[in-house]
Structure formats: C-alpha cells, structure tokens
Amino acid sequence: MPKRLSAALAAVLCVVTAAAALAVTRPAPATAATGGFDFTRAQVAVSGLRSPWGMAFLPDRSALVTERTTAQIWRVYPGYTPALVTTIRNVYTAGDGGLLGIALSPTFTQDQLVYVYFTGASDNRVVRFRWGYPDAQQVVLAGIPRGQSRNGGRIAFGPDGMLYVSTGDAGNPGNAQNPATLGGKILRVRPDGTVPPDNPFAGSPVYSYGHRNVQGLAWDAGDRLYATEFGEDAWDELNAIVPGGNYGWPVCQGVCGDSRVRDPLVTWHPAEASPSGLAYANGTLFAAALRGTRLWAVPAAGGAVGTPVTELQGRYGRLRTVALGPDGWLWVTTSNYDSGGTPVFGDDRIIRIPPVGSWPPASPSPSPSAGPPLSPSPSPSPSPPGGSSPCPSPSLSPSPPPSPSPSPSFSPSPSPSPSSSPGASSSPSPSPSPSSSPSPSPSPSPSPSPSPSPSPSPSASASPCPSPTPSPSPSPSPSPSPSPSPSPSPSPSPSAGTRSCEATIRFVLSWTAASRGELTVRNTGTLPISSWIVTFTVPNGLSYVQLGNGGYTPRGGTVTVTNQPWNGTLPPGAAVTMDFAIGWSGGTVEVPVATCTAA
C-alpha cells in the first residue's frame, strides 16, 4: 500500500448525521435563458435509441453515442436516422452494467483513437481502438470492480490531457475507502493507461476516493473538476474534486462535518435528482437527473456555487447524459428504456437546447431537420452572421490499426443508409440516413452551386446547418418570331413524380424487459413526403397497442399513426422507425399488414 494513501486512510472517521451543504428542496424558478440557453426552444434532435449512456463528438460535429443494453455505438446527427458504427463484444449488461462511457483522444485527428468503458465478465474496464477498427482493442485500464449496481462508467479527458475515469463501489461500500481496489474512486491515467508521476498517491491511478457511484465529470473555465454522485437514500451530491480528496462514503453522506472529509457543494434528495451526466457551459454546471426527470442548472464561479434551478422537469422523462456540443447547443439524452423509466413514442431521444440568440431562429417544429449528411467530404455551409460555421467539416477516413489483422472498416460511406435504425436488425452503416429534408430536393446533399443567403425562411429547420438549395440555371431570353402570328409550341412537361410509402411492423417480445412494437415507414416514391398515414389492426396475441400520444387500441381494433413533426420530410428511399407500447402476455403474435398513404 502506498504510504501516503495508507496514512490518509488510517484515521477512523466518525459517523456523522448528514446535513445539507446547499440542500435543494424548493428549486428556484428557471428563466428562459438559464445558463445562456433558451429552454423554451428545446427540441428533439434524434429518436429511437435504446438506453443511450455516453456521448462524444467527432470533428465533423456528429456524435458517437453508446447504448448500455445493446453494447452498440451509434453515430448521430440532428434530424438524421442514427447509423450503427459497431457492437462492442463481450459486454455484460446485467443490472446497470453494460457499454457505458465513451471519449475521443485529445489528438483524435492524428491518432483516431476511441475510448470506451464497459462491464465485462469479471470487471469493468476501459479499452481503446482506432476509428474504423473496433475489434483491434487495447486495454487501457482493467480490474475495476463490477457489480449488479453502482458500476460508475463516465470517462473524460481533462484539460491536462489525462484520462479521468469514474467508478462505483460495485455494491460493496467498503471498496470506496479501500486503497487496494479501484472501486468507489475517480481515477486519473495517461492516455495509454500508465500512472502519471503527479498523481496524489505514488504509483496509483487513484485521484480521489470515498465515492459511492460517480457518473458525471466536468471542468469549469478555471480547469476545476466537478463530479455528480449517487447517494444511498439520503443525499445525492455535487462535489468539487481535489487530488487525494476523501468524499466520505460509506462513513457518511452529504455534509459530514469532519475536516478529513470533503463536503459537497450541493446536495439533493434522490427523488429530486439521482444525478448522472454533468456538463459545464457559460458559468453553469448542468446535471442530468434520472429519478428527478429534470436538468439541474447550478451557477458556478471561482469554485463557488449559486442556487440551483431546474429545467425540462418531467418533459422528457429520465435524463442520463448532458454535453455541450461543438455547435454551441446543449445536448441531453433520455434514459427511459432503463429500469425505472417509462418509455413513450420516440424514446430514447436526444434533446438539443439552443444558446440564447442563436442563428438561425428555431422553428416551432420540435426537431431540427436540416444538416448535411455525414459524407466523407460535404461542401461547406454558410456561416452565421458574426460567427463560425456550425456545420460539419469533412469526416475522417480511418487509419490502419496497429493490429496486423484489422477487422472490417466502418469508415464513412458517401451513400446514406436509410434503413439503419436502433433496435432493428441491420448491417453496420457509419453514415446516418436523413430522416427529413429541409427542401423539396430529393437529395439532402449540398450542391456545388453558390450558397444561399443565411437569412432563414419562416419554416427554417431548427438545425444550425441549413442545406443549400440549387441555384436555377439561367435560361436564354426568347427571341421574337419574325412571323406576324407567332404560335409557340408547348414545351414538354416534366414528369410529376410520385409520392408513395410502405410500412412494416416488427415486434420485440421479452419476458425480462418491456415488450414493444416498431413501425418503419419508407418513402417508396420519387418525391419527398412530409405527410403520411399508416393503419393496421391489433393482431391476435396482443391485448392492446398504445401510441406515444396516449392513443389506446384493444385487440381487433384499427390503429392509425400519422407523421409527427420531429420526423420531418422523408426524401425518396429514406425511412424512419418509431416505437409503440404493446400488451403481450406470452404466445405467438401475428404480424399485421400495414397500409401507408403518403401526401
């Protein structure tokens, strides 16, 4: 045992009745500009995920999102169907374990390294792989205790370039004060997993200890580290993390009143919080609350905090991850397919909140629908007045891995794959398919014609990346006919095109999780469609079908589903998949034939 760590743990801590540090029982009312973001314009950007957990942004401003229960990594962009990147092998998803945190190397544009934290057969661990070669994994940190609950899982690179890893006590409270284990700690290692010489305990990756279950890490503008922590039954915590700090668990929760223990900055009752992800922006710490079904905004300046306020309370259910996107918007994921959640139509989702005064103004539509597809080399989009362009830069092509036998590449493909959707069987496709289009053009790809004026139209999509529309080619001016009685011949009219769609239904039946139905609508015509209606009959084997809007249909009844605003416009060949609740008690279920009418 390192001497400094041994000495720090030698004292026996007293059990102290916890009091509130900055106890939150009646949150202050929020304003429309909390933390510099306009929560009145919060919008659904991505839907159809399954228990999303970690999020990291690629250089082209798309995001990689991990799903805890499927062990899959999806690539998402607002308004586009998520694209499957890969499935991480040998992940165990029992309890609250699974595929958890994700981070990109600080030098990703050079080394293209992706880091993930997951629960394995015998431990929790962090591995890394080169973009495009997910099977050529290198273990960065192993031996983190795993359990049915309290597996930690957040990973993030700090301003110092070091990798920080949050762990839980794995259901064994003694781990938190035990220097010989990595459970109940915040760990700090170099990108290759080795221990930095300036860690507080010589030769140990332990940075702080006495934690029950840390799931949020964030740094403020002064490079101060903060963490959110699940308490037991009395207090959840927001802590300022210092090297070598002891945060009290399991001896006490909340304010301990002992100089040997670091007291929290803020405490909440678990019903108000159960905090997971944490992000910092504009002098504010944002904490995503699971059981509390809200986003906490805590003013933070110079290491001190102000009165927390709430946003999004009850609007989207359980909130797992919050991150400041490279587009300047706040990204928040829901976690309604996890235990304790009640999934509704469209879950799980990613919500985006624009900064105050952002360009372009948000549409009343609840979801952004513009933005270029993630092709290898999209054309640049117009920049907002007085700022840099919010649209994606060219995607990266994968570099070869150090392994002599790389797995198949998942590099971006210029062809969108409209059928790729979470929860459905599909081949890995790295480029999200557009689920909506900002113009009647059958292709959302930017054209090489001059960019349009940056002034948004009244129906502008909420996405910060408007799609350029083709400039019409100038037609020659007609010359007057020498005939005194000109009789122009009618020009042949172009084909009017067709609007049509097809709908397919799939049932996901489970004894251990919520059974559900999935409806996929595909545009089979030659023109974009912005309105469609699907009907089908509740089949034998199901007692009911319930849509996200509350519509309830018993066995034998006809279900009618109409396009929702967040699905936007479907280009030809594109598809959108959505969920609905079903009543299933066992036995065979007939898959009904669905009819789809497009307009």
Question: How far lies 64's CA from each of 53, 74, 201, 219, 410, in Å?
Answer: 10, 6, 33, 21, 13
Q: What's the confidence (pLDDT) of residue 510?
A: 61
Longest dimension (CA), the chain: 110
Tell me the average pLDDT across 152-175. Answer: 98
If one compares 135 and 104, the residue with the highest pLDDT of the two is 104
Q: What's the confidence (pLDDT) of residue 25?
A: 41
Q: What's the confidence (pLDDT) of residue 567?
A: 60
Tell me the average pLDDT across 181-207. Answer: 98
If one compares 548 and 31, the residue with the highest pLDDT of the two is 548
Whether the per-residue pLDDT at 141 is higher than 50: the answer is yes
For CATH 2.60.40.290, the residue range(s) in the chain are 501-598
Count the neighbouring beta carbons within 10 Å of the beta carbon of residue 36: 16
Tell me the average pLDDT across 583-594. Answer: 83
What are residue 472's DSSP bridge partners? none
pLDDT winner (highest mean) among 9-18, 243-252, 500-509: 243-252
Whether the per-residue pLDDT at 2 is higher than 80: the answer is no
Question: How far lies 282's CA from each of 7, 24, 160, 166, 221, in Å?
Answer: 39, 22, 21, 24, 9
39 φ/ψ sector (left φ>0, alpha ψ -120 to 50, else beta): alpha
* Residue 307 in tokens: 């009165």
Confidence of residue 21 (pLDDT cuts 50, 70, 90): low
Distance CA 412, CA 377 (A): 10
Q: What's the confidence (pLDDT) of residue 76?
A: 95
DSSP 418: T
pLDDT winner (highest mean) among 52-56, 541-545, 564-568: 52-56
CATH of 3-34+51-277, one of 3.30.70.920, 3.40.50.720, 1.10.443.10, 2.120.10.30: 2.120.10.30
Q: What's the confidence (pLDDT) of residue 573?
A: 84
For CATH 2.120.10.30, the residue range(s) in the chain are 3-34+51-277
Q: What's the confidence (pLDDT) of residue 13?
A: 42
Tell me the average pLDDT across 68-74. Answer: 96
Confidence of residue 196 (pLDDT cuts 50, 70, 90): very high
> Which range among 11-15, 73-77, 185-189, 581-585 shows the weakest confidence by mean pLDDT?
11-15
Confidence of residue 565 (pLDDT cuts 50, 70, 90): low
Report which of 4, 352, 14 is spatially closest to residue 179, judged by C-alpha positions: 4
Q: Is 259 exposed, middle or buried (0-12, 13-18, 19+ CB in 10 A)?
A: exposed
What are residue 241's DSSP bridge partners? 225
If one compares 512 and 292, the residue with the highest pLDDT of the two is 292
Question: How far lies 230's CA from each of 67, 235, 289, 426, 558, in Å?
Answer: 20, 8, 10, 36, 45
Q: Which CATH architecture has domain 501-598?
A: Sandwich (2.60)
CB 46 within 8 A of CB 332: no
Report which of 191, 213, 189 is spatially closest to residue 201, judged by C-alpha positions: 189
Name the strand (E) or helix (H) holding 410: none
For the stretch 374-414, pLDDT in tens is 433 333 333 333 333 334 433 444 444 443 333 333 233 33
Backbone angles phi, psi at 235, to 5 degrees: -140, 135
Q: What's the confidence (pLDDT) of residue 586?
A: 72
Whether the per-residue pLDDT at 140 is higher than 60: the answer is yes
For the stretch 75-108, pLDDT in tens is 999 988 899 999 999 999 989 999 999 999 999 9
Whether the per-residue pLDDT at 341 is higher than 50: the answer is yes
Q: What is the mean pLDDT of the chain?
A: 78
Q: What's the confidence (pLDDT) of residue 199?
A: 98
Distance CA 534, CA 555 (A): 17
Tell me the average pLDDT across 62-79. Answer: 95
For the stretch 439-479, pLDDT in tens is 333 333 333 434 333 333 333 333 444 343 444 444 444 44
Whether the per-residue pLDDT at 587 is higher than 90: the answer is no
For the stretch 220-256, pLDDT in tens is 999 999 999 999 888 999 999 999 999 999 999 999 9
Whether the per-residue pLDDT at 556 is higher than 80: the answer is yes
Q: What's the confidence (pLDDT) of residue 184?
A: 98
> Which range among 195-199, 201-205, 374-378, 445-449 shows the weakest confidence by mean pLDDT?
374-378
